[in-house]
Structure 1
Amino acid sequence: MVTSSSLPLPVIPTSEARTQLPDALRRFRSEGPLARPMVFGGHRRAEGVVIPFDLYVDLIPAIEDLEIAYLARERAKTGEVGALSDVASGLGLDPDDYR
């Protein structure tokens, strides 16, 4: 688990994030997918992050894998079991794409 103390970026208050958003967008436009993200939350606790859209697009396959893993863990906790292909289909994925 990542905590705000282990983040290499400062966590800014939500009210400050609102005012810094235009600057973040300018940075994303000029620096591209590797631009520094903006981490924000209440009481300096990381609750959200704004990243360049191009980076998000690149991360989609990893996010989908994490979603599948999360669902599998949750089902394992409840004793509910099923085939991975059923989980993939439930997410709208074609299991053959991952062979």
Structure 2
Amino acid sequence: MSFPEILPSSAARAELPKALKRFRAEGASAEPLVFGSHRRAEGVVIPFDLYWQLLPAIEELEIAQIVRERSEAGEPSPLSEIAESIGLDPDNYR
């Protein structure tokens, strides 16, 4: 698959009805509509069927990002320590 043409936003807006027709006809394999400023890709419109197939991978990437951020934040604290630090006794909640 070759990289699709990058359209300016105004051209992408005009191309959208054609893209939707293509999505209906070709489903997940239809070429996406890529747009941006100065021929730099900034956004993409893809068939919903393709999005639905990609959703589990997108969610995994989001979870991985959260894990990375939390790992970089330092050592985790046990919930009991956090509770005690705000004046709660964890034994009261068992």
Normalised by the length of structure 2, the TM-score is 0.72
Matched letter for residue 37 of structure 2: G
* Equivalent in the alignment of 1:91: none
Unaligned runs of 5+ residues in structure 2 are 78-94
Cα drift, residue 10 of structure 1: 1.7
What is the CA–CA distance in structure 1 between the aligned matches of 2:43 and 2:22, rounded to whole Å? 18
| Larger of the two Rg values belongs to structure | 2
**Aligned Cα RMSD in Å?**
1.8
% identical aligned pairs = 61
Q: How many residues align?
A: 76
Aligned mates of 2:74, 2:38 — CA distance in 1: 37
Scaled by the length of structure 1, the TM-score of the pair is 0.69
Equivalences for 1:63-74 in 2 at 5 Å?
63-74=58-69
Q: Spell out structure 1 runs of 4+ moving beyond 4 A.
A: none
Q: Could you list the runs of 5+ residues in structure 1 that have no partner in the other structure?
A: 1-6, 83-99
CA deviations on 1:42-76 (whole Å, 9 max, x unpaired) are 11111110000011111111111010011112222
Instruction: In structure 1, give the amino acid aligned to 2:8.
Output: P
